[in-house]
Amino acid sequence: MEQLQYREKSETQNVVTIWENCIEGFRTRISEKDIERFFVPIKPMSYENGDLLLSCPTSFFKEYLEAHHKEDFRVVLSSVFENPVNVKFWIEKKIISGESKKEKSFLSFNNKDEIENKEEVLWDNKLCKKYTFSSFKEGESNKIAMLIAQQVSKKPGEESMNPFFIFGKPGVGKTHLMTAVGWGILENYPQKRVFYVETHDFINQYVSAARFHKVVDLMGFYQQVDVLLIDDFQVLEGKEKTQEAFFEIFNYLRRLGKQIIITCDRSPSELSGVHERIISRMKGALNIEMLKPDLELKRKILEEKLRQENVDLPEVVKDFIVNNVNGCVREFLGIIATLFAESAVENKEVTLEGAKRVLKRVSGFEEKEIDLSHIINVICKYYSLKEDDIKGESRRQDIARARQLVMFFSKKMTKNSLSVIGSFLGGKKHTTVMHACKVIEDLISLDKIFLDQVSSIECLIKTAV
């Protein structure tokens, strides 16, 4: 390629003129788009003793120039200068949180393949410290998401898991799991730049950057990230200009193999007001849905919360909460916190009646009258039997015992006559119901293990209404 004819007259030559000569040289080797984006924003500061000091908006410029235009610098500088030149960048690094930090960095173009960082950049990852894998409770509703998240934390950027798109209803733990991945990556790769941002904040950042003509700085910041965590992606709906910025950042990081994790309250196909090209990228990501917690997971979450607060609840209250709070994890934890708060204010223990009052006020819980169908349903689930088995004529011991328990609890917890109870259970006589109740009462007085079973079933009948 043709060498430039610009030559330095002396080291006191105007530094602006020197840089203008360099820019003209770059134009013969580099696209005009890159010139305008990455070279024009650079401002010459001084040239002394073979050191050319340039000012640029972010350290991303330095990294980009080294990765893509190092050879261009060598060729152009050797044409403009007679002697070897060191290029020094003075970086005014603007952190998204509002803090700022100045950093001197050095790019050497005198046949040395090195960059010397004289000052370490402060990096605020915005991760919530309490959202880790150890504090995340796993159940059937989130098992697959958890397994994949752990794999991503071990191999960030793995093509088969990048991007990672987690979707589900609000409050099922998406933010917690995504944040846990961030901490996991930092534990395995401490040098990586992990950054968490809510989509609402990203939109505000873009609007502010556009207003003050700092979009290049904003893009530069995000393009230095190694792991980008974007929360509540659905907020981007209808934000066309911000979507364009996101799309460019997404593509840039994706091409470099940087890990991207996105959470959303719906699947990509359910999003509206989002560019089709973005939807296409999201559909091509690893999509995993997180569901509302099942009974087992709610029990784990409740026990963990009690452990953290160093308190306990009666089993009947635990069963009631687990069986009757049907919302998300966030609502579940909110109701538990409300119970604790009211208990502390009133200086009373949490009772079943107190729990019912809180649920009625907070989530519209309505207590239903216990009926025969409810009782037989609970006992069938407890013993893993079918309703037809209990209503039938089988004398198998487990079925017969379950049938007797249905009769016992139906007499104890409903206003139905013995004849009605017998009729409900396949036309049994009222004397059969009386005998069954007597058998259960005798077993309770003699067998503590059986008594515990009966107590557990009674709790389930009361709390699962």
Start and end residues for every CATH 3.40.50.300 domain found in the chain = 143-289
CB 163 within 8 A of CB 268: no
- Find the mean pLDDT for residues 297-305: 85
Least Cα distance to 330 among 362, 283, 356, 376 occurs for 362
Counting residues of the chain whose pLDDT is more than 90, the rounded percentage is: 34
- Domain 15-117 matching CATH 3.30.300.180: the answer reads yes
In this prediction, residue 158 has a pLDDT band, given cuts at 50, 70 and 90, of very high
Mean pLDDT, residues 268-276: 92
Mean pLDDT of 307-311: 80
Q: What is the pTM of this model?
A: 0.59
CATH code of domain 372-463:
1.10.1750.10
What does pLDDT average to over the chain? 83
Give per-residue pLDDT as tens, 12-45. Answer: 457 888 888 889 999 999 888 888 878 888 888 8
Cis peptide before 163 (omega within 30 of 0): yes
Domain 295-363 grouped into CATH 1.10.8.60: yes
What confidence score (pLDDT) does residue 183 get?
96
Residues of the chain with CATH 3.30.300.180: 15-117
Q: Find the length of the chain.
A: 465
Grouping H, G, I as helix, E, B as strand and the rest as coil, residue 51 is strand
Helix residue ranges per DSSP H, 256-371: 276-283, 295-309, 315-324, 329-346, 352-363
Contact present, 115 and 106 (Cβ < 8 Å): yes
4 pLDDT more than 70: no
- Please list the residue range(s) of the chain that carry CATH number 1.10.1750.10: 372-463
Q: Provide the pLDDT confidence category of residue 116 given band limits of 50, 70 and 90.
A: very low
Stronger pLDDT, 112 or 204, i.e. the higher one = 204
Mean pLDDT of 38-57: 82
**Which 8-state DSSP code applies to residue 156?**
T
User: At 366, is the pLDDT very low, low, confident or very high (cuts 50, 70, 90)?
Assistant: low
In the CATH scheme, what architecture does the domain 143-289 have? 3-Layer(aba) Sandwich (3.40)
Show the DSSP H helices in 98-154 as ranges.
143-154
